[in-house]
Amino acid sequence: MQIVVLGSAAGGGFPQWNCRCPNCLRARSGDVAAKPRTQCSLAISADGVSWFVLNASPDLRQQILAAPFLQPRRERRDSPIAGVVLSNADIDHVAGLLTLREDHAFVLHASGRVLRVLEANPIFDVLDRDRVIRRPLPLDRPVPLTAPDGPAGLDITLFGVPGKVARYLEDPAQPGFGTQAGDTVGMQITHQGRSLFYVPGCADIDEALAARLKGAELLFFDGTLWHDSEMVEAGLGRKTGSRMGHVCIDGDAGSLRRLAALDVGRKVYIHVNNTNPILIEDSRERQIVGQAGWEVAYDGMQVTL
Residue ranges in contact with ligand MLT by CB under 6 A: 10-11, 90-92, 167, 201, 244-245
Question: Of the ranges 17-25, 53-61, 72-80, 174-182, which one interacts with Zn ion (CB under 5 A)?
Answer: 17-25
Q: Which does 83 bind (CB under 5 to 8 A by kind): ligand MLT, Mn ion, Zn ion, none?
A: none
Encoded one letter per residue, x for contact with Zn ion by CB under 5 A and - for no contact, window 253-282 reads ---------------------x--------
By C-beta, is 2 or 240 nearer to ligand MLT?
240
Nearer to Mn ion among residue 50 and residue 273 (C-beta): 273
What residues make contact with Mn ion under the rule CB under 5 A?
A: 10-11, 90, 92
Can you tell me the distance from the alpha carbon of 129 to that of 301, in angstroms, rounded to the nearest whole number? 33
CB of 276 to Zn ion, least distance (A): 9
- The contacts of residue 83 (CB under 8 Å, 6+ apart) are 52, 53, 106, 107, 108, 109, 145, 146, 147, 152
Shortest Å distance, C-beta 10 to ligand MLT: 6
Where in the chain does DSSP place strands (E)?
Answer: 2-7, 41-45, 51-54, 81-85, 106-111, 132-137, 143-147, 150-160, 185-191, 194-199, 218-222, 266-270, 294-296, 302-304
Task: Work out how close the CB of 122 gets to ligand MLT at its nearest, in angstroms, rounded to a whole number.
Answer: 20
Q: Who contacts 25 (Cβ-Cβ below 8 Å, separation ≥6)?
A: 15
24-83 binders of Zn ion (CB under 5 A): 24
* Residue 291, CB-side half-sphere exposure with 13 Å CA sphere: 6
| CA separation for the pair 138, 155 (Å, rounded) | 12
Q: Which stretch binds Zn ion (CB under 5 A): 22-30, 131-139, 259-267, 279-287?
A: 22-30
